[in-house]
Structure 1
């Protein structure tokens, strides 16, 4: 009965969002309704991801959720690139990276830690995630320093070269983690007291085919509603006096990653912290090493190349987020207080971005 009510509410909010969008209702009304629709669609996506993870493993389930969740943000960013709004695109990339590492992971550790005293995931995976986060920071810092001495043409060429190597690094990471060292990076499924998790043998909600179908369906719904919502953000931000940097780094990033937010939290609360970490950190890495470089090439083929030079504010935010996330996740264990630390850093960065 509860499931039927949820599905009915999801369908109703999705249809209502579409009607308001195409009937050109007020921006504020659309944002409120679309936000509710995204929350419901994200919960649906989280359930589908959990079901897929039962068949494919926590890591693959987390990877699929990060990928499908980032699809919404990639679609939004492509529209922004087409309009030449490169600064907002880079701000949204920054917001997505720090949002996943600080907000999504922070909430997951906090709520999961309140239920389970200590949660564990693969230590080797934690180490490699930390190294990749540092790689992303280094690669983003280098263009910001050296591009000052380059001409516009050289900056564009350098950006394309860096983007190509980042994509290569990400593809090699997938080969390493999913194929050659799959067993070494296997999931750790146990409760906080060291006993096997009570949820390890839960039956999935749907069959394998239905789970995959619902994963695609939920992602499509999130993508559509996100696009409708973002289309009203400019009017909304102007009305309330919000800066382009704050809108891109926080509002668009939070909205575009709503799917990962709920899915990671739900999984952490079921002591599936491995999948939650894969969603949060894996999504940040995917944005930095794959989505951002892809947008560089997309802009190139559209005839107006976006460079990979980020502002000092954005670089500081990414560097701070990577540093504290690496410090917290390197030992492969988590607790609720570590979640609080991540959330505090996110709030402080949000205040700083709001005041810029």
Structure 2
């Protein structure tokens, strides 16, 4: 009986040691984790109802490291559950921040914010991230090469995603104008309800197509993707040489705990951030479209931006292409249709109808991206072209009024 307290103390000591080790490993996973100091400040800002600018920007900064930790925890879980399940996990939680922010915005009927953030995530990955990769990797090299088949497969799927937005826009343009002038789209009881029905059907087809892509990349043609996966492992193993092989990975329970805690923190921070958008729009004069399309995607994609640029500098272009184009693909044929179906469930009219201007922007972006990766080689000038395209689009949306998109 006298040994029981000692046994309890030993278990408690082991628990604290493991907790300390997993915490340190998580904090060391990315340089952006220094921004975690903003997480408690952002929650306090929301609780004490500080002004909208403080609530928006502090929580904006706090979500960046939380997104990085979500990605890290997901990768750690993938180490334990195998490649197929790991691929599904990365597909789901790799865009967890975009999903959480979008679901919260959708519940508050901020459909324009959701649509703009979806489009913005696609554009920032295709143009900004890929452009930075080509410049960072190509500035010290004449040419860089990557797996042409994998890149073209993802580009073809991006073309399909573009068609899924072009067709509802063309469908909408051919419909008679709805009666009344409620200012909302689609107007209940009008022919615009056909857009919702079309969007929901297309969303189901896109999700099936994404499932086929996962089967293609993880099962039937996984040899094509093996080089990218091995590059990913090499990058993870070289990230911190101080950590020994046995201590490199979290246990599945530690990773799940971190994933759960981080998801809850992201939910609170995103709720405060989305709740402050209306005041930001009113006071700053910025449109909801610009905030959703240019500013919010930086939050969810910050960790991916850093990873892609670092591996491109190490001449691991297959991994860089996989992060940049692959992330856009997940947003286009997984997250966006998922949000349409979520809106259907909670009775919010989220559709795949984007304005003519927005669909034209997406078409141009996918077109120029396909051109530069068509030959399986890249250089810094092609990266500069992608960056210039992105900045032109950002400038255009800065002056683009919200009312034009309705």
Instruction: Place the TM-score, normalised by the shorter chain, in its bin.
Output: 0.7 to 0.9
Q: 1:202 aligns with which of 234, 238, 241?
A: 238
Q: Residue 184 of structure 1 is aligned with which of 224, 237, 240?
A: 224
- Matched residue, 1:166: 206
1:98 aligns with 2:140: no
1:321-353 residue CA offsets vs partner (Å, 9 max, x unmatched)? 101111112222223222211111000001111
CA contact (8 A) 1:44 1:218 kept: yes
Which range moves more in the overlay, 272-281 or 237-246? 272-281
2:14 aligns with: none
Q: Tell me: CA distance 1:8–1:251, structure 2 relative to 1, closer, same or farther (3 Å).
A: closer
**Cα deviation per residue 1:160-211 (whole Å; 9 max; x = unaligned)?**
11111111111101111111000023226999xxxxx996973765225379
Kindly state the Cα deviation for residue 71 of structure 1 after the two structures are TM-superposed: 1.4
Aligned partners of 2:83, 2:138: CA distance in 1, in Å? 18
Higher relative contact order, chain-length normalized (CA < 8 Å, sep 6+): 1
Q: Deviations over 1:207-255 (max 9, x none)?
A: 2537955667666655543443333232223211011221221122222
Give the drift of 1:301. 1.3
Report which stretch shifted further, 334-343 or 96-105: 334-343
Structure 1 residue 263 corresponds to structure 2 residue 288:
no
Alignment length (residue pairs)? 351
Equivalent residue runs for 1:51-90 within 5 Å: 67-90=92-115
Q: CA deviation at 1:308?
A: 1.6
Structural mapping, 1:322-333, within 5 Å = 322-333=366-377
> How far 1:59 sits from its partner (Å)?
12
Q: 2:134 aligns with which of 96, 103, 109?
A: 109
TM-score, normalization by structure 1: 0.83
Spell out, residue by residue over 1:32-80, the C-alpha distance to the aligned partner (whole angstroms, 9 max, x if none).
3334334444555676678789999999989866643421111111122
Q: Is the 8 A contact 2:67 2:300 kept in 1?
A: no
Q: Quote the Cα distance in structure 1 between the aligned partners of 2:31 and 2:353.
A: 44
Indicate how the Cα distance of structure 1 residues 154 and 9 shifts in structure 2: closer, same or farther if over 3 A, else same.
closer
CA distance in 2, matches of 1:167, 1:22: 38
Unaligned runs of 5+ in 2: 1-23, 176-190, 401-406
Matched, 1:138 2:169: no
**Cα distance change of structure 1 residues 88 and 37 upon mapping to structure 2, 3 Å threshold:** closer
Distance 1:235 1:69, change over 3 A: farther
For the residues of structure 1 that align with 2:235 and 2:33, how far apart are their CA atoms? Answer: 28
Provide, for residues 254-302 of structure 1, a one-character-per-residue CA deviation record: whole Å limited to 9, x for no partner: 2233332223223333333322222221111111111111111111111
Deviation at 1:98, TM superposition (A): 0.8
Give distance in 2, aligned partners of 1:162 and 1:322: 19
Name 1:128's counterpart in structure 2. Answer: 153
Equivalents in 1 of 2:68, 2:28: separation in Å? 12
In structure 1, list runs of 5 or more residues that go unmatched: 192-196
Q: Which residue of 2 aligns with 1:194?
A: none
- Cα separation, partners in 2 of 1:70 and 1:269, compared to 1, 3 Å: same
- Note the aligned Cα RMSD (angstroms): 3.6
